[in-house]
Amino acid sequence: MVAVVARSEDPAPLARSLAERALACTYADLDAATVAKVKTCLRDFIGCACETFDLPWARQARAAVGFGAAEGASVIGCAVAATPGDAAFANAVMGHGLVREDMHAGSISHLGIVVLPALLAQAETQPVSGADFIAATVVGYEAGGRLGRALLDKDVARIHRPTGITGPLAAALAGAHLRGLAPDAATSALALAANACAGFNQWAHTGGSEMFFQAGLAARNAVTAVDLAVAGAFASPDALEGEAGLFVALRRRERAQGVRLFDGPPEILAVYHKPVPACNFAQTATVAAADLVAQGGFTPADIAAIEVRVPLAGARYPGCDARGPFEHVLQGKMSIQFNVAATLVSGSAGEHKFALLDDAAVRGLIARTTLTVDDALTAAYPGAQGAEVALTLHDGRALRRRLDDVRFASADEVRARFLAALTTAFGAEHAAAVDAAIESLDSFADAGALPRLLRRARGA
């Protein structure tokens, strides 16, 4: 066998260069806006997990968890610990359960529902500071955002679940940072995570609940990848860009050379928080419909026709251009037509409208709805995610609402719904304690104190 020796001028494998840059990031490198964004992402994730505790997929995830670990990690709303991997799995599923998680449009991914549960679980396995936890979170969003921008577009996303691809990579590199791995071990953790990138979008055509579990599997696999690297496992340093690596598998090998971390503003600052508990691509149109309802002057029975204009990526994403019939809640959460029609019928964009899956008035409006790809909105995407809803009424009037970009939930709105969810789950006093812990996380000597506050039975 002839040994192949890399020439000194050969570039480092992508996983190695990403690992080195990720490990170099420290809390001191972060500005106040980035640190504040981490705290908003934490509140959004934890609040969603509390709200979904009793939903079927949340119960199913916990049923698959082995509780009773002597030195385990916290599952939100449960008094008994689980293994770190199982805790990451269950918490990720619950954080995804409303389909109202944070969104990174450039990677078409929900990074927080994988990065945050994986880090919270690992923060309970060894002492790590709150400042290090924050820096690791920024690393995770950065890796997922940068790699996702290179790997994913509307064509890949028609088949592959973006979060199932970016999630393991993001959370593994974040975990490697949190646990202080050396560059070689961090490279192996990232390479192992590349082998765990999985998830297909067939669920969007049927309403299957595997979408929720994809986030859980990504979080658990990321924890396992880091554990294996800590134990000394070696994985191919070129698992990302190599001739049989991830970029080649997705037919995006030429894009690998352009991936660099922190080459510009941190990717976490590009994340937005959903105002509506529905698919990312339904957000703007749903808000536009709600604006028309607030404007008033018509009833659903007055509507003769509806045109919804969206970017091409929105029309092509699986499940978004769907007219029914709808048998499962997830089908409604994905469909742009359903979200617009149900908002017009129910009067608001909230969770309650998904009780109208078989409502006659909603079905009637969907039958009169046309979904149109708008060239200007397509050109602006993903930098902006606009939509337009135009109503033609039977009396000849035309009502129109166009939004050039999604109207995201502000940090104050995220905090308000977080406090409401935790107050319902744990009471106002404990909700305030968790909120205060997040706000002062920078000063914590032991970041594991935060997830341990969530190791509490609901109502206790």
Domain boundaries, the chain: 14-273, 280-403
Contact 240, 246 (CB under 8 A): yes
pLDDT at residue 230, rounded to an integer: 98
Nearest to 175 by CA among 238, 215, 123: 123
Mean pLDDT of 153-164: 94
Q: How confident is the model at residue 459 (pLDDT cuts 50, 70, 90)?
A: confident
Give 381-419 pLDDT, tens digit per residue. 989 999 999 999 999 999 999 999 999 999 999 999 999
Give 171-221 pLDDT, tens digit per residue. 999 999 999 999 999 999 999 999 999 999 999 999 999 999 999 999 999
Give the separation between CA 308 and CA 312, rounded to whole angstroms.
12
Query: Is the pLDDT at 235 greater than 50, yes or no?
Result: yes
* CATH tag, 280-403: 3.30.1330.120
Q: Which fold has domain 14-273?
A: 2-methylcitrate dehydratase PrpD (1.10.4100)
Query: What are the two backbone dihedrals, phi and then psi, of residue 30, each rounded to the nearest 5 degrees?
Result: -95, 140
Mean pLDDT of 343-354: 94
DSSP letter string over 94-152? HHHTTS--EEBGGGTB--HHHHHHHHHHHTTTS---HHHHHHHHHHHHHHHHHHHHHH-
**Mapped to the 3 state alphabet, what secondary structure does 148-168 carry?**
HHHHCCHHHHCCECHHHHHHH
Q: Which helix (H) or strand (E) holds 389?
A: strand 387-393
Q: Which amino acid is at 403?
A: L
**Topology agreement, domain 14-273 and domain 280-403:** no
Contact 280, 103 (CB under 8 A): yes
pLDDT at residue 70, rounded to an integer: 74
Mean pLDDT of 119-124: 98
Give 421-443 pLDDT, tens digit per residue. 999 999 999 999 999 999 999 99
Query: Is the pLDDT at 276 greater than 70, yes or no?
Result: yes
Tokens 């602006």 appear where?
A: 380
**Chain CA centroid to CA 411, Å:** 17
Average pLDDT, the chain: 95
Give 53-68 pLDDT, tens digit per residue. 999 999 999 999 999 8
What DSSP character marks residue 251? T
